[in-house]
Structure 1
Amino acid sequence: MIALDIATVLFLNQSSLLAGAAVFMIARQRRSSSSGFGTLAAAFSLQGLGAVLASFGEQAMLPETVWTLGSLTLGMVGHGLLVLGMERLRSGRPPRVWRLLAVYPIPFWIAGWLTAFHLDNQLRATLFHLNAALCLLAASRIVARLRRVEPLPSCLPLEAVLAFSGLSFLLGAGVIAFVPDFVPWLALEFFVQILVNFTIAVLIYSVATDRAERKLALMAELDSLTGIGNRRWLDKMLPSRLSPGDAVFCIDLDHFKRINDRFGHATGDTVLVAVAATLRNLKRPDDVLARMGGEEFLLFLPELRTSDTPSVAERIREAIQAIPFQHQGTALGVTASIGVAQVVRVGETWPDLVHAADMALYDAKREGRNRVAYAPRVSQELIPA
């Protein structure tokens, strides 16, 4: 086994914890307070201060009762705050039981006053390691929950490092409990934890950065008013090749400018939001809905049966007409014209399909609005085998 000086290793471990706390404090100043960085900074600070307190005690600079129970308390609360900080990073809010952390050390203080267990180095170190293992494994589980909802690139490495750190502390507890000369093993373990501390700080910051970048990308691809996709998002969601049956509905609200001019743009926005919600509720899970701009929406329906196309289009038109819009007691009659185009042969392209649906939409407008018009279909006899 590699021979390591325990005093040097513990000093470096303190430094890594305090350096991690400084990173989190800087990150907190640059990001929102709900990101959990303040709590994580407190977690690393308490762990680092606990280690410093233990170092002073080992050099007989503090009374034994003070540094033993003090370092144990700071370490246990620090690891508890790590769990709290990870939950705030995941959900933006602390868990419901976070207030229990304030009374968490009290049973150990009472036990220390009654039994003086903290003066036993082996027992105190075992309890510290078990608490650290439990908290780190809990933090790893929190990151796993985050990864299931937001598959960010940094989540899996962070989850693995937290789990590895927890298992390392668990192994260390076993070594301390059952190996008489555990100090060399302890030096090796804390040497590993030095690397882990730096890695955890870097990966947590990376997770926050990944989330911010993902949010910006999502904002760039979603319509800010209605919450559905925009043109850019639509381009990403379309299949690389169209198949027979794929259909496009171009949906345009009738006389929408009159609504804006007569009732104001706020009322017009309300109409757009309600229509988008109606379309979202009517579409199938695999259908793609986007706002193309203004009062125009596009709905892509993959592999729609030709016999179902008219009934689906009519159901959408009727649903929009049935939305109960009112403005200061005045009913607003909102209707939509729909142009429909459907793939009938292999090799058709997306621009051609959208153009055909647009032309059908213009036909619906010319024919009186509040109706569905269909692009001409190629005869089935001309479809190549």
Structure 2
Amino acid sequence: MAFDVHLPTVMFLHQTSFIVGALVFVQLRRQSFGTRGLGMLALAFSFLAAAYTFTASSTHSGQIILPDAVRPHISLLCGMLGYALLWAGFIELAGRRRWHQTRLVLVLPLGLALLGVATGFAYDPAMRATAYYSCAILALALAGYRVLRNARIEPLSSRTPLAICMLLGAAFYLVRVVNLLEGTDFLLNIGDVFFLEILCNFGMALLTVTLVNERSQRRLQRLAQTDPLTGVGNRRWFMAQLPKQPAVGAAMVLIDLDHFKQTNDRFGHGMGDEVLMACAQYIQEMLREDDAFARYGGEEFVLYLPEVSASEAMVVVNRLREGVAALVCEDDGVRVPVSASMGVAMVTAIDTSWQTVLHRADQALYAAKSAGRNRVEAYSSPA
């Protein structure tokens, strides 16, 4: 059933939705430093608002702001540029490409605008509307697909409704194209389409704000849980990764870089930082997906190995120790000695807290350092 709408009012609201959207993107860009695509989205909505301004001026006496010979071409160009920039803006916002990789998208609207000038099809309202709607369908559908697909890389709850908004917008314009080709409003009349597009425009603007805010919150959370020097998790993050209760069949490993103070004193703190980063990166790359590895403090790291036996844990940790000792860090051609002592503690049936397991791993680490460093020791009960 069609909505009972007043077409001029709906077109005015449609134009207003683009203006409000542009203002939202401008303000969001000012507040969200480093978020790509927002400036392009603001420009896109501005072009779309301009396109509807020129279109509406032809239907209201006394409001013609451009000559009749020019207005259809400007309206068509603004509309197609708007949706081309909208596609590029959402692609950048999704985090896949940068502007220099998407700017060729402007070739399509510019080419169609020149074709409109050469053939004069822009003077035919139906043909002009079909070209405009086709560009809108393509831009909205591709942008919605990309936003939805990138949810695997960046799972944000606002991605799905944002993509749905864009895909619905494309569907509504597709209905309008079908109506134009059929010459009737047997599906939805033009007022209905504009009314639904208003909802989609506001939805896109509001959900983009939500997406940017979600991304900022995730970034802050990640910074709070990541060691800024090495890029691996910090102690808080590590403890959050552990099961609530220790379970038999897991190992806790404490890793301490040998003679790290001497490295700092001899080669400087800059080289010491490079050694820390090299060791952290190497160990992180050698681990399984379910393992947890973090910087525990200073030159000390901690490692959690689930579902391993005592013998398997020793094999893994010895392999890590050998790899650390083989790392090549140089300062002006002089090789910086790198090695690590490691203490391993297996979870037992009587363990009720992770602090108990960590304490045993620390005792094993102390034993490795006392025995000459650059070695692995497993905790053994004094009894």
The answer to whether the 8 A contact 2:175-2:187 is kept is no
Moved more, 341-350 or 351-360: 341-350
Deviations 1:263-298 (A, max 9, x none): 211111011011112211322222111110100011
1:374 deviation in Å? 1.5
Distance 1:25 1:4, change over 3 A: same
**1:382 maps to what in 2?**
none
Q: CA RMSD in A?
A: 2.2
Matched, 1:264 2:265: no
For the residue of structure 2 that corresponds to 1:205, the secondary structure is helix
**1:25 maps to what in 2?**
26
The answer to whether the 8 A contact 2:19-2:46 is kept is yes
**1:206 maps to what in 2?**
210
Aligned partner of 1:105: which letter? Answer: L
**Aligned partners of 1:356 and 1:347: how far apart in 2?**
11
1:73 to 70, 77, 86: 77
**Aligned partners of 2:346 and 2:34: how far apart in 1?**
50
The answer to whether the 8 A contact 1:34-1:93 is kept is no
1:365 to 350, 366, 369: 369
- TM-score by length of structure 2 reads 0.92
2:151 to 147, 154, 157: 147
1:377 deviation in Å? 5.8
Which blocks of at least 5 consecutive residues in structure 1 are unaligned?
380-385
**1:113 maps to what in 2?**
118
Q: How many residues align?
A: 378
Distance 1:132 1:182, change over 3 A: farther
For the residue of structure 2 that corresponds to 1:2, the secondary structure is coil
Distance 1:344 1:34, change over 3 A: closer
1:144 deviation in Å? 1.3
Which blocks of at least 5 consecutive residues in structure 2 are unaligned?
none
Matched, 1:104 2:105: no
Aligned partner of 1:19: which letter? Answer: V
1:344 to 340, 343, 348: 348
1:139 deviation in Å? 1.0
**1:14 maps to what in 2?**
15
Deviations 1:88-129 (A, max 9, x none): 212261262423404633344334432x32222222222222
**1:134 maps to what in 2?**
138
**Aligned partners of 2:347 and 2:35: how far apart in 1?**
49
Distance 1:378 1:150, change over 3 A: farther
**2:3 maps to what in 1?**
2
**Aligned partners of 2:310 and 2:118: how far apart in 1?**
81
**1:353 maps to what in 2?**
357
**Aligned partners of 1:177 and 1:82: how far apart in 2?**
26
Distance 1:33 1:223, change over 3 A: closer
1:253 to 244, 254, 257: 257
The answer to whether the 8 A contact 2:342-2:375 is kept is yes
Aligned partner of 1:265: which letter? Answer: H
**Aligned partners of 2:313 and 2:183: how far apart in 1?**
75
2:333 to 324, 329, 335: 329
**1:383 maps to what in 2?**
none
How many percent of aligned residue pairs carry the same amino acid?
A: 37
**1:93 maps to what in 2?**
98
For the residue of structure 2 that corresponds to 1:338, the secondary structure is strand
Matched, 1:54 2:55: yes
1:216 deviation in Å? 1.1
**2:310 maps to what in 1?**
306
1:319 deviation in Å? 1.7
Distance 1:40 1:176, change over 3 A: same
The answer to whether the 8 A contact 2:324-2:340 is kept is yes
